[in-house]
Amino acid sequence: MSALAPWLLSVLRIVTALLDIPHGTSKIFGFPRAGSGATVELYSLLGLAGSLEMVGGALILVGLFTRPVAFVLSGEMAFAYFMAHAPRNLHPLLNQGELPILFCFIYLYLAFAGAGPLSLDRLRKKTP
């Protein structure tokens, strides 16, 4: 089972990115439609969050600059939790904060663990 751990790290990275990217595209482009379906101003706090989720998520998806991008996204998710969820209620179940908490810690793990073998980071590090 241990031999599969690096490959599952890549799978975790890819699935996390595929789940996070639509949060960004929903904010920036209104697709997929979530909530009211309204887009946000690009030069706003939510516009910055959407850009980070979309562009950062795409970089995480292909495994390019995974460690620094994952670190930034981890911070963004922590910020989102404390700005948007924690003021509603102390408990994550009651403030719908489970998702940003999970994203935060998965991205923090990726910042330290790296991208895994299925990544552009691995290809960049190979020397001819």
pLDDT digits (tens, 9 = 90+) for 29-50: 988 887 776 788 888 999 999 9
pLDDT in tens, 50-98: 999 999 999 999 999 999 999 999 999 999 999 999 999 989 999 999 9
**Domain membership flag for residue 128:** no
Q: Which residues contact 74 (CB under 8 A, 6 or more apart)?
A: 103, 104, 105, 107, 108, 111
Q: pTM of the prediction?
A: 0.93
**Domain membership flag for residue 124:** no
6: its two tokens: 């690096």
Q: Which residues contact 76 (CB under 8 A, 6 or more apart)?
A: 49, 52, 53, 56
- Please give the biggest Cα pair distance in the chain: 54
**Domain membership flag for residue 96:** yes
What total number of domains does the chain contain?
Answer: 1
- What confidence score (pLDDT) does residue 128 get? 52
Range of the domain at 6: 2-117
